[in-house]
Structure 1
Amino acid sequence: MVITPEFRKSSLSGAGQNCVEAKRLSAPGPPRREQVPRPGVGVRDSQHPDEGHLSFPDPEWGALLASLRSPE
């Protein structure tokens, strides 16, 4: 059985608000093995989840989070 990480919405998001969801991306592993985590995060619009997602490599994702957490 292959387990794929699910998109998650922030617990700070309220119902019905414009939100994004994120998940750790994974790449297929060898046959009959679990998925192997791949460096990166997928981000999608929670109100239009079927329209795909944007992929961010770990360094860029980390830089984005650091800038959002910055007091400036």
Structure 2
Amino acid sequence: MGLSKKPSSQNPLKTWEDLDRVLQSQFKLAKKDNKHFHFVNPDIYEMTEDEIIAEGTKQGYKVTRVNGELKFE
């Protein structure tokens, strides 16, 4: 049988799909509680901070840097 290849990371970085899922669910909830923003820690994603900002802006979000996090509005 043998061993499987050693994982490269205990906690793999999150992907575009993960970020999209978080933002979609948070903004759907925002309609209920009148909170129209969400903070994201860019360090947990495989994409760079600049890539996240560019794609967020392209998709209609206002994305700003706030104390090391990204604020999506």
Please give the TM-score of this superposition, normalised by the length of structure 1.
Answer: 0.29
**Rg bigger for which structure?**
2
Select the structure with the greater relative contact order (CA < 8 A; seq sep ≥ 6): 2
Greater helix share, 1 or 2?
A: 2
Greater strand share, 1 or 2?
A: 1
Please give the TM-score of this superposition, normalised by the length of structure 2.
Answer: 0.28
